[in-house]
Structure formats: C-alpha cells, structure tokens
Amino acid sequence: MSDVRVLGVVTLPGPHEARWRSALLKAAKARKWAATKDGGDRDDAAAGEVVFMRDVDDAALDGIDALLVITASPDEVFGMALQRHADDPRQALRRAASQFGAACRLIERGAFMLDGSAVEAEIPGLGHVSVDVGDDDAPLDAHGVANPLAFYESLPPATGAKAAWSPDLFSYTHGADHEGGTPDIDISGRARILVHGPYFQLPAGLWRVTARFSVEPDDDAFLMFQWGVAADVATCYGAFDRSGLYEVVIDHRWEKAGAAEVRVWAERGHLFGKMTWLGCHVERLADVEPLSSTT
C-alpha cells in the first residue's frame, strides 16, 4: 500500500509491545515519517506519519489511511491488565476484554493484523520492518488458570472458540444490594435478580452460553435466565420441582459489540428453596438460528 501516508497503530498490551513500538519508530525515522500519539498535532510537512492510538472511535480514525493491530494472547493481555488491577482480577479481565473488543472492531473494519510475537513483517506504508529480538517485557503471571477470555486466541473469535466463566467471576445480590452474596443462594423471598455478570466485552455475532447450577426446591423453583448485552437479551424460563444438577443453553445473536452478561432471576416469590451457581461456558457459533433449552 504505497499510498499510505498516515498509519494508525493499536497495540494490545503484552510482552512484545515495546519492541514493536521501537521498531516502528525506527522505521518511521528512516523514511522521514513523523510519529505521534492520538490527540497530538499532525505533522503535515512530514513524508508520512505513524499514529500510536488508544482511542479508536470514529472521530479518532478520521484521516487514517491504514490501521495496524498488533496482537497478544489472552494470557498476556490479562497479565498486563493485572499490573493495574492486582487486587481485582475481575476488573483486570474486563479491561482486557474491552481491549480485545476494540481490536476486533478495527479488524472487522479492515485493519491489518500482526502477531506481536513475530520478529518481522511487511507494514503498510513502511515496508519491511524487523524487531530487535530480546527486548520483550516479562508478562505478569495470569494466575495459571484457564483464561476466561480464551476465545480471543484468534481475532475476531473464530466459530467454535470457547471459554469457561467460573462462579467467582459473577456477582450475587445480597438483600437489597446488587452485590455481596455468594454462589450458594437462598431463593426464598420476593422475585428478584440473583446472579449477574461478568460483563466481558464480546463482539457482535451469535454466542451460546451453557449455564450450570443445582437446585433444591421446596416446591417448584421458578427461575428466569437471560443472556446478552444490556437490553438486547434472550430469555429462558424454567420451573424446577426436583433437586438436582441442571444446564440451561441459550443462543443469542447481538448486532453490536458490548459487555455480555448472564442474569438469573427468581421469576416469582418463593417460600423456600436454594440454588447453587456453578458458572457457565461461552462459545462463538456460526450464523444459524438461536437455540434455548433446559436439561
């Protein structure tokens, strides 16, 4: 793309971020290009310009000829987010999911994608660029657990990509408070929301959630399950008259990326009853008709 004069660069935080930034700056200087951060003044006199971007809304993209997204793995991005939110892994995951979501939007708009672990690449406007091996930052340990953002191993998430969301990622109501409860839930009392979260950014498309929970009803336990983004949700109802382990499967397609959540409600008032939330699995599906079922 020899007609590229302004290259926008978005880097996902990871151990390779610094070395690629250094390599791009070196390549820009060799070609007498300017280098700026988004929001900075553009140098119209320069032969070209590399703009390192954080803000990726439509206004920030104005005047950008080509976009480059430098990727990192879910473990790497989560590990870097933990540096800012070491005392709140859920917030670190939400931050990482938001960064992946922004990258997906750019790639879907035609941005060039570069694996951050690569040592050389053809870059729009700059030509062949190579990095100095050995300049990586050491990633912070991501707690050695299965990453709840594992579907971001490819960008955008591929059909069939999956991740597990464990009970500790969710919020549980406690009395009148929106949080403070535990996965072991007393469903007696008024109709109300019981479980919600985890509010991880997911791209538009068709997504399946498979929720697992156990119920100990005194009579029938009437529960409502929702899956989606903000008000754009699919809803499934269930009446459970026997104690046991259950799964609810809900497929839902949303047209706009957003913070995805599962909600579980006591659909009506109960005198007695208990429920234990066991978490869920999330999967990206091919574009087919949605499904809702309870087993």
Domain count, the chain: 2
Task: Supply the pLDDT for residue 43.
Answer: 62
Asked whether residue 244 is assigned to any structural domain, the reply reads: yes
Q: Work out the mean pLDDT of the chain and round it to a whole number.
A: 90
pLDDT at 53 exceeding the cut of 80: yes
Asked whether residue 1 is assigned to any structural domain, the reply reads: no
Pairwise CA distance, residues 151 & 258, whole Å:
15
Domain check: are 132 and 172 in the same one? no
Output the pTM of the full model: 0.87
Read off the DSSP letter of residue 281. E
Domain check: are 148 and 10 in the same one? yes
Domain check: are 83 and 113 in the same one? yes
User: Which domain-ending residue is among 152, 171, 186?
Assistant: 152
CATH at residue 276: 2.60.120.260
Task: Supply the pLDDT for residue 62.
Answer: 83
Domain check: are 168 and 142 in the same one? no
Q: Which residues pair with 270 in a beta bridge?
A: 189
Domain that holds residue 14: 6-152
Query: What average pLDDT does this structure show over 180-203?
Result: 96
Of 219, 210, 27, which Cα lies nearest the Cα of 129?
A: 27
pLDDT tens, position by position, 90-147: 999 999 999 999 999 999 999 999 999 999 999 999 999 999 876 555 544 444 446 8
Task: Supply the pLDDT for residue 176.
Answer: 84
Burial class (CB in 10 A: 0-12, 13-18, 19+), 153: middle
Decide: 68 and 7 in contact? Cβ < 8 Å: yes
Of the listed ranges 52-66, 113-127, 217-231, the least confidently predicted one is 52-66
User: Which domain-ending residue is among 122, 152, 182?
Assistant: 152
**3-state class of 154 per DSSP?**
coil
